[in-house]
Amino acid sequence: MSKALASAILQKGPPALSGKTITYGTAGFRANADMLECVMFRVGVVAALRSLQTHKMVGVMVTASHNPAADNGSKIVDQDGGMLVHEWEVFATRLANSTDEADMSSTIDSFYPDFNSQAAGGSATVVLGRDTRVSSPKLAELVKQGILTCGDRGGGVCRWHDTCGGEGAKVVDLGIVTTPQVHWAVLRANQKGDGQVPPLQGYYEEHAQALKVLLGSKQTNVKFHVDCANGVGAKAVEEMNKTLSEHSIGFSLVPFNVGDGDPELLNEGCGAEHVQKSRKLPSGVPASGGNDKFASFDGDADRVVVWYKKDSNLVLLDGDKIAALFSVYLCHLLDASKLKLSLGIVQTAYANGSSTSFMSSVLAKHKENVTGEVSCVATGVKHLHHQALHYDIGVYFEANGHGTVIFSDSARSKIEERSRGGDAAAQTLHAFASLINPAIGDALSDLLAVMVVLEVEGISLEQWAGYYEDLPSIMTKVLVKDRNAIKTTKDEQRVTEPKELQDAVDAAVSKVEQGRCFVRPSGTEDCVRVYAEAGKQETANKLAEDVGTDIT
């Protein structure tokens, strides 16, 4: 059966990768859209096989997130609503690059040894979403063809059944949605287990219901301007606003950069990536009063940063600050409920040093009722999510605004039990857990959670910004012949190969007060990233520049 499937895949032609290899990295496959046609067909195949293997729905999102409009890509959502397990990422890479029938068939057999036995009588369902890129409808169609090819009834015979009594493969096409909405749909569909994908209205309703509990009888009138990066976030914001107003919740999200003009404007000078990396205002900022509040989503709305203007400069509240806000809030609730749950705060090496010190001091202050730690893992949200699973409550955010808060099953049961007994803090914890996306970073859920925490705790953006002061930092890109020649330790803070490079970084850092610097190959762009931090901005800039010179 794997031979028949391999031959059907190859009929679609070889991958047009111009001699390059495409890798399923921290953000799935990403490349110029022109290179992706065959790859996307194969992504459909991989997703269908994963669904067949797990007997659950999985998902595919066609997007290249914060990359330019000409790029595209895909992220596969696993059966638990999270990111694809590592082994299947390797499988996806192998299958996407294979050009030979025997190699492809043996790849299928080695990564999915039960394929032949499970295929007979099995079925697969894949939830499909796409972003607003011009190339996305065509690429989503190719994913669909890949999925359906798996269960194709060529000559009246389903590829998966000897004599077809089963359903083969099915696609549930959600159309234009945010990446976290695909994760949500897969998670909820598999939790219900009735083979149906719940309508997306359920996503908005869940948020509204949780907000109602968190706000209680508090009358609110909070407005945030939302920079939607000219991407999918605009549609979700509009729908969310409708539901908020139906429930008379006094939160309003006023979208700008909604992408109703030139498709090339996606992520162009706007969105979370632009704001967080350049620390500059995005394009299209509406004329507004001095106290206005702003948030920027990225192109597929899985990241958010918050900001405000001070003397026409931007004051950034990035992923580290969001994690700090949630951690302080959760520590208060854990103190009040005495539930004795562990709280893990997970960051990457890009987290500002001041944020790490701040989080550690928050945990130390609450140590009587909260056992916790701050840890650092490799870049890429899957690594953070994985680490966050070690705690009762895991708060994880990348500095760029990608993250969420997850609650373990046992923590949820304890919170629910205490909350049924009427404990107010436990009821609040329960509602917070229902508000925030349990599967993946979600710009919309995170923003609503920020808004509600600020509102109920009576914290202004200025007070929140004052939790700690960021150490001056800079991130630069260096173009090299082969970025993968640079190898790092697991937490990416040190280079292991070439050794001379780490020696040079150490020498440069030793000359700088409060200096910290690390180098790693990007997983999503063809470059090496340098991050430097120091007591003064000029010194951080110089440190990054010196280390950059050592790389080239």
Name the residues annotated as catalytic: 65
Stretch of residues binding ligand NG1 (CB under 6 A), selected from 208-216, 428-436, 505-513, 518-526: 518-526
C-alpha 206: how far from its chain's center? 20
Give least dist CB 371 to ligand NG1, A: 28
Check binding of 522 to ligand NG1 (CB under 6 A).
Answer: yes
Using CA atoms, how far apart are residues 438 and 203, in angstroms rounded to an integer? 12
The mark string for 396-435 relative to ligand NG1 (x by CB under 6 A, - otherwise) is: --x-x-x---------------------------------
Q: Residue type at 371?
A: T
- Nearest-approach distance from CB 303 to ligand NG1, in angstroms: 7
From 538, 494, 485, select the one nearest 517 (Cα to Cα).
494
Among 250, 284, 472, 523, binds ligand NG1 (CB under 6 A): 523
Question: Which value, in Å, is the radius of gyration of the alpha carbons in the chain?
Answer: 24
Least Å distance, CB 56 to ligand NG1, is: 25
Yes or no: say if 33 and 107 are a contact pair by the CB < 8 Å rule.
Answer: no
- The single residue among 178, 230, 524, 539 that binds ligand NG1, judged by CB under 6 A, is 524
Length of the chain: 552
Question: Using the 8-state DSSP alphabet, how is residue 78 labeled?
Answer: P
Nearest distance in Å: CB 468, ligand NG1: 20
Among the listed ranges 111-119, 394-402, 451-459, 476-484, the one in contact with ligand NG1 (CB under 6 A) is 394-402
3-state SS class at 375: strand
Whether the CB-CB separation of 451 and 224 falls below 8 Å is answered with: yes
Tokens of 415: 């919170």
Residue from 525, 541, 545, 550 binding ligand NG1 (CB under 6 A):
525
Task: Select from 1, 23, 24, 26 the one that contacts ligand NG1 (CB under 6 A).
Answer: 26
Taking the CB of residue 336, how many other CB atoms lie within 10 A of it?
A: 15
Minimum CB distance to ligand NG1 smaller for 135 or for 400: 400
DSSP state letters, 248-317: T--EEEEEE----S-GGGTTTT-HHHHHHHH--PPTTPPP--TT-EEEEE-TTSSBEEEEEEETTEEEEE
Strand order in the sheet with 168-176: 29-32, 71-77, 58-62, 123-130, 168-176
Residues 362-391 as x/- pattern, contact with ligand NG1 by CB under 6 A = -----------------xx-----------
Q: Which stretch binds ligand NG1 (CB under 6 A): 129-137, 353-361, 524-532, 543-551?
A: 524-532
Closest approach, Cβ 25 to ligand NG1, in A, equals: 7
Residue in 91, 115, 350, 407 binding ligand NG1, rule: CB under 6 A: 350
CB of 394 to ligand NG1, least distance (A): 17
Distance CA 212, CA 215 (A): 5
122 or 380: CB nearest ligand NG1:
380
Tell me the number of residues near ligand NG1 by CB under 6 A.
Answer: 14
DSSP reduced 3-state for 493: coil
Each residue of 2-25: b (16+ CB within 10 Å) or e?
Answer: beebbebbbebeebebeeeebbbe
Taking the complex as a whole, the smallest distance from the CB of residue 106 to ligand NG1 amounts, in Å, to: 31
Q: Choose between 53 and 65: whose C-beta lies nearer to ligand NG1.
A: 65
Among residues 305 and 450, whose Cβ is nearest to ligand NG1?
Answer: 305
Strands 58-62 and 123-130, by their bridges, are: parallel
Q: For residues 50 and 75, which CB has a smaller minimum distance to ligand NG1 in the complex? A: 75
**Contact yes or no for 217/209 (Cβ under 8 A):** no
* 372 versus 380: smaller Cβ distance to ligand NG1: 380
Q: Which of 406, 433, 405, 430 is nearest to 417 (CA)?
A: 430
Binding-residue pattern over the window 46 to 85 for ligand NG1, x denoting contact by CB under 6 A: -------------------x--------------------
Q: Does 129 bind ligand NG1 (CB under 6 A)?
A: no
Minimum gap (Å) between residue 66 Cβ and ligand NG1: 7
**355 counts as binding ligand NG1 under rule CB under 6 A:** no
Question: DSSP for 502-543?
Answer: HHHHHHHHHTSTT-EEEEEE-SSSSSEEEEEE-SSHHHHHHH
Residue with smaller CB distance to ligand NG1, 184 or 350: 350
Task: By CB under 6 A, tell whether 29 contacts ligand NG1.
Answer: no
Q: By CB under 6 A, which span of 75-83, 91-99, 361-369, 519-527 interacts with ligand NG1? A: 519-527
Q: Is 340 helix (H, G, I), strand (E, B) or coil?
A: coil
Task: State how far the alpha carbon of 324 is from the alpha carbons of 311, 358, 436, 453, 525, in Å.
Answer: 25, 8, 15, 12, 29
User: Rounded to whole angstroms, what are the CA distances from 505 to 54, 188, 348, 378?
Assistant: 46, 47, 19, 19
Closest to ligand NG1 by CB, 29 vs 111, is: 29
Residues of span 470-499 touching ligand NG1 by CB under 6 A: none
Give the residue with the Cβ less far from ligand NG1, 206 or 320.
320
By CB under 6 A, name the binding residues for ligand NG1: 26-27, 65, 350, 379-380, 398, 400, 402, 522-525, 529
